[in-house]
Amino acid sequence: MIGPMMDAWYPVALESQLGPEGRATQLMGMPLQVARHTDGSIGIRTSDDRLLPVRLRYGHVWTSIGTPKADLFDIPEADQPGRRLVEVGVVRVRCSPLRAVENFLDIAHFPFVHTDILGAEPHTEVEKYEVEIRENEDEVWATKVKFYQPQAAKSASTGITTDYMYRVPAPTCSVLYKTCPARPGEWDVITLFVQPLSEDLCDVWPWMALFDDESPMTDLIHFQQMIFLQDRSILENQIPRLLPLDPGKEIPTRADLTSVAYRRWLKRHNYTYGAQLVAQ
């Protein structure tokens, strides 16, 4: 059963790359055709010719196969003057869409998967941080996260202890706020927007809003693609393939507090597409 995940918003294309020939894709097993009309507007149809709602935000085309109860979540930094908005593209990953989000929330893997970039030995300890489900926004937040990184961003020239905040505003989307090397006092924003193709296959669309006046756009894109491609092999080999919501299936540590809250939040809202409900 797809259930309430039908009513969420999902990215299905990059607005800047969508021409009149359109893009054939799918969402939770449903074939879609995303096309730009001659008047410049964008339409999305299902295989049975049903028109779906469209939102254009953060450089992406968003839709839902159900009836969204709220509009697309807001990222205010997207409208902040001086930021460079980076469309990273799409990476197809053979994993649960929920696994993709959970991996993005994981801090402990930095020194081992992103060695000498986002982490390095012996700086492997995850310091105590805070996690909460904010009831008013109905979002998962992790704050007061700190981690030493040899190269926290493309613009970073030396290693620094990086401050992080993680936000989960939707079941298949996550927003990361991190120390901005080029402008102290501001946050760089790095997001992961996930399009569920099936329960164990997804398209991942990273997007960033950065303060970086030095790096060429191509370098910014390649840096983020490199980071995510390092994650892909891990994601595609995780067992079980679906994200277990039963707390007895995988044993969490202090570093996994955000993952635990994310799973609890999914379970509360009955977001089960891409999830394993009972330990097997």
> Which CATH number covers residue 143?
3.90.380.10
Report if residue 205 sits inside a domain. Answer: yes
pTM of the shown model: 0.89
Q: Are residues 152 and 216 in the same domain?
A: yes
Give the length of the chain: 280
Report if residue 75 sits inside a domain. Answer: no
Q: Are residues 106 and 42 in the same domain?
A: no
Q: Are residues 171 and 270 in the same domain?
A: yes
Q: Are residues 58 and 121 in the same domain?
A: no
CATH number at residue 56: 2.20.25.680
Q: Are residues 114 and 212 in the same domain?
A: yes
Q: Specify the pLDDT at position 181.
A: 81
Report if residue 70 sits inside a domain. Answer: no
185 exposure class (CB count in 10 Å sphere: 0-12, 13-18, 19+): exposed
Q: Are residues 125 and 220 in the same domain?
A: yes
Query: In which domain, by residue range, is 7 found?
Result: 3-63
DSSP state, residue 119:
B
Domain count, the chain: 2
Report if residue 130 sits inside a domain. Answer: yes
In whole angstroms, what separates CA 78 from the centre of its chain? 15
DSSP state, residue 49:
-
Q: Are residues 258 and 211 in the same domain?
A: yes
Q: Are residues 103 and 238 in the same domain?
A: yes
Do the Cβ atoms of 8 and 64 come closer than 8 Å? yes
Render pLDDT for 235-247 as a digit per residue (tens, 0 to 9).
898 888 999 997 6
Give the DSSP H or E segment for 115. Answer: none
What the block records as the tokens of 110 is 């930095």
Report if residue 74 sits inside a domain. Answer: no
Q: Specify the pLDDT at position 116.
A: 44
Report if residue 76 sits inside a domain. Answer: no
CA-based torsion, 280, 199, 59, 207: positive or negative: positive
Given a cut of 70, the residues of the chain with pLDDT beneath it are: 1-3, 108-126, 149-160, 247-255, 278-280
Q: Specify the pLDDT at position 10.
A: 98
Q: Are residues 99 and 38 in the same domain?
A: no
User: Tokens 């950065």 belong to which residue?
Assistant: 210
Q: Specify the pLDDT at position 124.
A: 53
CB-based contacts of 99, cutoff 8 Å, min separation 6: 235, 238, 241, 242, 243, 274
Domain end residue (candidates: 35, 63, 91): 63
Q: Are residues 59 and 112 in the same domain?
A: no
Read off φ and ψ for residue 65, nearest 5 degrees: -95, 0
What the block records as the tokens of 21 is 């020939």
Q: Specify the pLDDT at position 256.
A: 76
- Alpha-carbon distance of 228 to 91, in angstroms, equals 8
Report if residue 68 sits inside a domain. Answer: no
Report if residue 14 sits inside a domain. Answer: yes
Q: Are residues 58 and 112 in the same domain?
A: no
- Alpha-carbon distance of 164 to 56, in angstroms, equals 27
- Alpha-carbon distance of 203 to 195, in angstroms, equals 5
Q: Specify the pLDDT at position 2.
A: 62
Q: Are residues 90 and 128 in the same domain?
A: yes
Q: Specify the pLDDT at position 280.
A: 46
What the block records as the tokens of 134 is 């904010």
